[in-house]
Structure 1
Amino acid sequence: MDGDGPRSLTSAVQERIRADILATRLLPGQKLHIAGLAKQFSVSLAAVREALSRLVADGLVQAADQRGFRVSPVSLQDLADVTRSRIEIEGLMLRRSIELGDEAWLNAVEAAWSALKAFPHRFPGDDPLQYDEWAKRHNAFHLVLVSGCDSPWLLRFRKLLHEQSERYRRLSIRRDSGRDPADVEVEHAAIVEAVIRRDAEAAIAALAKHFTATKDSVAISSGGILEVDRAV
């Protein structure tokens, strides 16, 4: 792997493993072998160990004494907790963005919304590259919505929760959830319309409805993927 030094190598390894976890190429509960990863990425054992330790802090990896590292497990209980936390934190951020955001922020929201609408909703099973592009635009849209909150700390918390949500989406959306992609667009439109009116209550309610609908569709389509919480 290319890098200018030990820390840049560690960061590169961290991002590669993060991407593999979020794309579910590394599955929940899967053991992460330090030696194997070091060989795969052509880096030192220390670089892999530090990268995994950083991912523990992000909640994507779990560590246990004498048992090494594993990809963090998933469960319906955790999915519900992640969703509640997103509703509370992003609801607060959206309220602050509506209060503090200027015209440039509103224009950015409309631009992100237009970019998302221009690319139809895709599922990973249809075409991974197309889904990746949709997911990229979807993330950009939701990030812009709350970017006017003027709080780097809240933005950091939001990133962690979004990553967990995206992992659940990719784990379960391969199966039929019964959710029409058109419904997702309607939910997004309701959020944007409320934001443009600067109606914080309506915008937060629409955001909560959207996140809850996503949670429900993930739960329906998950089958046996989401297991009961268990210690690693």
Structure 2
Amino acid sequence: MSSIGLSFAENLLGERPRSLTSAVQERLRADILSTRLSPGQKLHIAGLAKQFSVSLAAVREALSRLVADGLVQASDQRGFRVSPVSPADLRDVTQTRVDIEGLALRRSIERGDAGWLASVEKSFSALCAVPYTYPDDPTHHYEEWVVRHRIFHRTLVSACGSQWLLGFRDVLHEQSERYRRLSIRRDTEKSRDVEAEHTAIVRATLKRDADAAVAALSKHFMTTMHLVELATPKAPGVAID
């Protein structure tokens, strides 16, 4: 392992990773989810290997793992590219997330104890303590908000009692993340009050009102979907980016 490659991986993960392949995978995953790598963008193995100071094999394996996660597409003739986004996929991902995450939230409300309720309040307070966007750039999320937002939504469903359900939910969250980033990057969220949306979910959850909580969660996801659609072409089959 080269010293340059090791430095990259240690800086990336904050600790010595199990392999450079894992480090490259996590960096690419972060860049795809944040849309720093645009939907549909070609991913050149040689260029990435040079950028990260790692072998071609390490990059190829990292990309193959991301193919399995649905974030990258592979073609025998065209190589790798970031999975494209589209209005149809947006609607499919959103509705499936409403179904899966709504079920997980309902089960968590039924099964969660006082400790879980306290963790929901704590994660929500932590989320509210940081700004939604950078003060000087409202088209980009404040990165710590993104981290806390992920923790908040995962905490809401963490008491559902099913690792399979949580696993499916996590995959859908990642697929949704790119669309959410696109909605704010395209400056369509000026009138949105995300904190109020989260507050509605939390209040219903703390009251153990499963119907109201799931309804608020669904509205929250659908709002993101509609905001992304506002910035997309209306012609069928046209990609968002």
What is the match of residue 147 of structure 2?
Answer: 136
Q: Is the 8 A contact 1:75 1:227 kept in 2?
A: no
Q: Using the alignment, how far apart are the partners of 2:185 and 2:235 within structure 1?
A: 13
What is the match of residue 215 of structure 2?
Answer: 205
Deviation at 1:66, TM superposition (A): 2.2
Q: Is the 8 A contact 1:91 1:208 kept in 2?
A: yes
- What are the equivalent positions in structure 2 for 1:120-131 lying under 5 Å apart? 120-122=131-133, 126=137, 131=142
What is the match of residue 56 of structure 1?
Answer: 67
Q: Deviations over 1:61-107 (max 9, x none)?
A: 00112221110001111111110011001001001111111111000
Q: Give 3-state SS (helix, strand or coil) of 1:69's partner.
A: strand
User: Does structure 1 residue 195 correspond to structure 2 residue 174?
Assistant: no
Letter in 2 for 1:38: A
Q: Is the 8 A contact 1:94 1:149 kept in 2?
A: yes
Candidates 104, 112, 129, aligned match of 2:123: 112
Q: Deviations over 1:33-54 (max 9, x none)?
A: 1111111111111111111010
User: Does structure 1 residue 27 correspond to structure 2 residue 38?
Assistant: yes
Deviation at 1:123, TM superposition (A): 6.1
What is the match of residue 228 of structure 1?
Answer: 237
Deviation at 1:225, TM superposition (A): 11
What is the match of residue 18 of structure 1?
Answer: 29
Q: Is the 8 A contact 2:139 2:184 kept in 1?
A: no
Deviation at 1:178, TM superposition (A): 5.0
Letter in 2 for 1:94: L
Instruction: Extract unaligned runs of 5+ from structure 1.
Output: none
Letter in 2 for 1:76: P
- After TM superposition, the score normalised by the length of structure 2 is 0.86
- What are the equivalent positions in structure 2 for 1:68-217 lying under 5 Å apart? 68-122=79-133, 126=137, 131-181=142-192, 183-217=193-227
Letter in 2 for 1:87: V
Q: Is the 8 A contact 2:35 2:182 kept in 1?
A: yes
Instruction: Extract unaligned runs of 5+ from structure 2.
Output: 11-15
Range 130-139 or range 159-168, more displaced: 130-139
Candidates 196, 218, 227, aligned match of 2:228: 218
Deviation at 1:224, TM superposition (A): 4.9
- After TM superposition, the score normalised by the length of structure 1 is 0.89
Letter in 1 for 2:237: V
Q: Deviations over 1:192-216 (max 9, x none)?
A: 1111111111111111011101111
Matched residues, percent identical?
66
Letter in 2 for 1:16: R
